[in-house]
Amino acid sequence: MLVQVSHLIKLGLMVLVVTATGAVNIYSWSDLYDLYDFIQFASYRTSIVPSKYLMTMMIIIMMISFYFFARHLERQSRKLFLWKIGVHDQKERVFEMRRWNEALVTNMLPEHVAKHFLGTKMRDEELYSQSYDEIGVMFASIPNFSDFYTEEGINNGGIECLRILNEIISDFDSLLDRDEFRCITKIKTIGSTYMAASGLTPESNTNGYGSRKPEDQSLIERWQHLSGLADFALAMKVTLDNLNKQSFNNFMLRIGLNKGAVLAGVIGARKPHYDIWGNTVNVASRMESTGVMGNIQVVEDCYDILKEYGFRFIRRGPIFVKGKGELLTFFMKGKDKSRGKAGPGTTALPHQVEDLS
């Protein structure tokens, strides 16, 4: 307790104690000190300072010494206290800085990739990459946004157009916060084109189903994430329709879906970017670019899987795809409420007469 008391209070207490002790020595115990001096120094002929005064002086010197010692101790205690406060503040700032850095990295990279970089000591020359065998890829663009964009004065040099585009993309991003879309990872946006993928999980080639191998899983289990990606595409259309009603616009989505193997990785030493590559990505991009506004186009492989989840399709027929030749494609029109029923929900376009089996 005395360490925390101010030096002035200590000084007051010591002065009080020394005064009381000096009064006792000089007045109350005066006879005892005189008797001691007579017995001890009776043989000395020279005069000596009485012991009662010597004792009082010694107590005063001790008081002064203790005061300076207490003052020094107090200064050191204050320095230690301020040092501890400074260290605590620095730790809080470091923790806050790390939290912001983690949030920034998590916004730039998928969560499992961000944990990889934050949890290990990576060297600049080290490359992060991961192969996946069963991934869903989606490209969604707004082709008529380029017709809407203008830099005339009425749009404040194009700022109002960018504000609307930002609102659209932000609404698409907010869909990813839903539990049913947690398996979907946003890859990037290029202009008014939105790219996303499903099944990009830390487990290699299992697409989020733990340690079970793909051959040990049913079709419904293996491609559940692809069904989620298709649901996400339909939700994007609903979101854009709602925004059109609010802003009195007529934007339309053109979406392409594909599934298959990809290679994922992070490139760049500055502003690192997470991306995916492979034939699957190229075909998904072609499904978008060769599609029709307001429709979701898929290849036959995706159709064979998604029809098992209750999605409804219209057969478009073979189309020419650059680098791939002719591919049989379908338009996904919606989803039955009772998903998973037997039998594909497919309707042919009027000019398609081929056998759908």
pLDDT for the residue numbered 216: 52
Assess if residue 113 is contained within a domain: no
Assess if residue 86 is contained within a domain: yes
| Inter-residue contact 193 to 236 (CB < 8 Å) | no
Distance CA 264, CA 197 (A): 11
Residue 137, pLDDT > 90, answer yes
Residue 355, pLDDT > 90, answer no
Alpha helices in the chain (DSSP H): 7-23, 30-40, 51-108, 111-119, 145-148, 159-175, 219-222, 224-247, 279-289, 300-306
Q: Is 315 a catalytic residue?
A: no
Assess if residue 341 is contained within a domain: no
Residue 83, pLDDT > 90, answer yes
* Residues 182, 326 share a domain: yes
Mean pLDDT of 60-82: 85
Q: Which two tokens stand for residue 48?
A: 């000596």
Number of domains in the chain: 2
Assess if residue 342 is contained within a domain: no
Assess if residue 352 is contained within a domain: no
Assess if residue 344 is contained within a domain: no
* Residues 177, 292 share a domain: yes
The residue from 213, 270, 271, 322 that is catalytic is 322
* Residues 99, 172 share a domain: no
* Residues 38, 102 share a domain: yes
Assess if residue 340 is contained within a domain: no
Q: What percent of the chain has pLDDT over 70?
A: 81
Q: Which residue has the higher pLDDT, 4 or 190?
A: 190
* Residues 7, 53 share a domain: yes
* Residues 58, 178 share a domain: no
Assess if residue 32 is contained within a domain: yes
- Tens of pLDDT, residue by residue over 156-209, are 656 778 888 899 999 999 999 898 888 899 999 998 899 999 988 664 344 444
- Provide the terminal-to-terminal Cα distance of the chain, rounded to the nearest Å: 91
pLDDT for the residue numbered 350: 41
* Residues 296, 222 share a domain: yes
* Residues 60, 130 share a domain: no
Q: What is the span of the domain harbouring residue 66?
A: 1-106
In b/e form, how buried is each residue of 180-206, taking b as 16+ CB within 10 angstroms? ebebbbbbebeebbbbbbbbbbeeeeb
- CATH number of domain containing 176: 3.30.70.1230
Separation of CA 308 from chain center: 35
* Residues 99, 132 share a domain: no
Looking only at the bridges linking them, the beta strands covering 311-321 and 296-299 are unpaired
pLDDT for the residue numbered 92: 93
pLDDT for the residue numbered 2: 60
* Residues 200, 304 share a domain: yes
Closest to 256 (Cα-Cα) out of 194, 176, 343, 211:
194
Region for 77 from its dihedrals, namely left if φ exceeds 0, alpha if ψ lies in -120 to 50, beta otherwise: alpha
* Residues 222, 147 share a domain: yes
Q: Is 286 a catalytic residue?
A: yes
Residue 136, pLDDT > 90, answer yes
* Residues 75, 192 share a domain: no
pLDDT for the residue numbered 53: 84
Separation of CA 71 from chain center: 50
| Inter-residue contact 331 to 253 (CB < 8 Å) | no
Distance CA 19, CA 27 (A): 12
- Single residue among 54, 76, 106 that ends a domain in this structure: 106
Residue 23, pLDDT > 80, answer yes
The residue from 10, 254, 286, 307 that is catalytic is 286
- Tens of pLDDT, residue by residue over 294-352, are 999 999 999 999 998 999 999 999 999 888 889 999 999 998 876 544 444 554 444 44
- Determine how many CB atoms are found less than 10 A away from the CB of residue 259: 26
Q: What is the 3-state secondary structure (H, E, C) of 193-251?
A: EEEEEECCCCCCCCCCCCCCCHHHCCHHHHCHHHHHHHHHHHHHHHHHHHHHHHHCCCC
Residue 222, pLDDT > 90, answer no
